[in-house]
Amino acid sequence: MPSGKVERVERTPGFTQIDNKLLTDKSLGLEGIGLMTHLLHYSKTFDVYKSVLHREWGRATVEKAWKKATKAGYIIAFKNYSTNSTQDSYNYTFDEFKFFDFDLMAYFEEKWAAGYLFYDKTLYQVANRTIENIEAALPQFLYPKEDSDTEEKERLDKLRKSLAQFVFDRLPNEKGGTQEIYPSQTFEEQAFEKEEMDEEVVESHEKTAALSHIENFVHDFPEYLSSLKRLEEKGMKKSDLENIVETLYNVGVDIDLKFDDNRMRIAAFESIFDDQFLANELYCQYDWVGYFKKGIEVRLKDYLFPKKFN
């Protein structure tokens, strides 16, 4: 196989100083490393907006990298529920050292004093705002590693549960209702819809059309084209196919985050896809699309996080 040395052209700075641990962190992947490098090149006084990154680099590209950086613990999201301004509704904090030796509880309190509270997409629906789901949405570095000693495990468990309780006590929920300082859930939904509409307006002003879910899937996951072909052979409507492929894209991203080896990624994706496709063929009588989407999400969760029985 042809090989060759890769050499760097010597340049005089400006340059951006970045910790080598970030540049070699496999949990980020090349996409996440690229995103963090891009974010770190901005000066501290420069305001960076996620919507601008979408326009510059493409929504699918940014979201895939953003999800990896968030999972790896380099980015933490906060939301301000008291404003309809899409510019001020969300606030993202990133740190190249994954918030090491950083008082997270004090920082959560500081953000709360400014009107912001920890946010994750899984917590958008009020019914999902349980302590367990909040804890699961917190950065992965708050979970002990296999080689962590007992003291470290206890420290992380205590911190993680304290942060989850802090967020839970301040989020609107079904049992406790909405605190006075928060808008209603309807208000939050309107703010979310307004953000989506604003993004659509911006995108409509651009002359280049956004890629469809299918085009994004083909571009980012060409190794799974055989699965896409099986869906196309079903002869379903394009809107239904787009709907399914949107879910498959998220499945692909989650599998990317779980496995470093590409063969393991392909094996995992095909196993999950094949099992759900067969289940649809055997058992689904109505709503083929909905049954497939729901089923494959459950299978993904069971595959990546198998339950342990004593």
Whole-prediction pTM: 0.55
- Which of 53, 36, 169 minimizes the C-alpha distance to 98? 36
252: enclosing H helix or E strand: helix 238-258
Read off the pLDDT of each residue in 141-162 and give the average, rounded to a whole number: 89
pLDDT of residue 83: 55
d(CA 74, CA 139): 8
Cα atoms in the Cβ-side hemisphere of radius 13 Å centred on 241: 16
Quick: pLDDT tens for 188-224.
444 444 444 554 444 444 433 345 788 888 887 888 9
Answer whether residue 277 shows pLDDT above 50.
yes
The top-scoring range by mean pLDDT among 47-56, 128-137, 173-182 is 128-137
Does the pLDDT of residue 306 top 90, yes or no? no
Q: Is the predicted pLDDT of residue 77 greater than 70, yes or no?
A: yes
Lowest mean pLDDT segment, chosen from 19-28, 142-151, 172-181, 273-282: 172-181
Q: Could you give the angle at the alpha carbon of 228 between the alpha carbons of 223 and 229, nearest 5°?
A: 105
Of the listed ranges 72-86, 161-175, 176-190, the least confidently predicted one is: 176-190
Q: How far apart, in Å, are the Cα atoms of 221 and each of 68, 225, 254, 266, 269?
A: 16, 7, 12, 10, 11
Question: How many helices (H) and strands (E) are present in the chain, helices listed first?
Answer: 13, 3
| pLDDT one-digit tens code per residue, 27-46 | 888 899 999 999 888 877 77
**DSSP per-residue codes, 206-240:** SSSPPPPHHHHHHHH-GGGHHHHHHHHTTT--HHH
Which residue has better confidence, 215 or 172?
215
Confidence class for position 181, pLDDT limits 50, 70, 90? very low
HSE, side-chain direction, 13 A CA sphere, residue 216: 23
pLDDT at 183 over 60: no
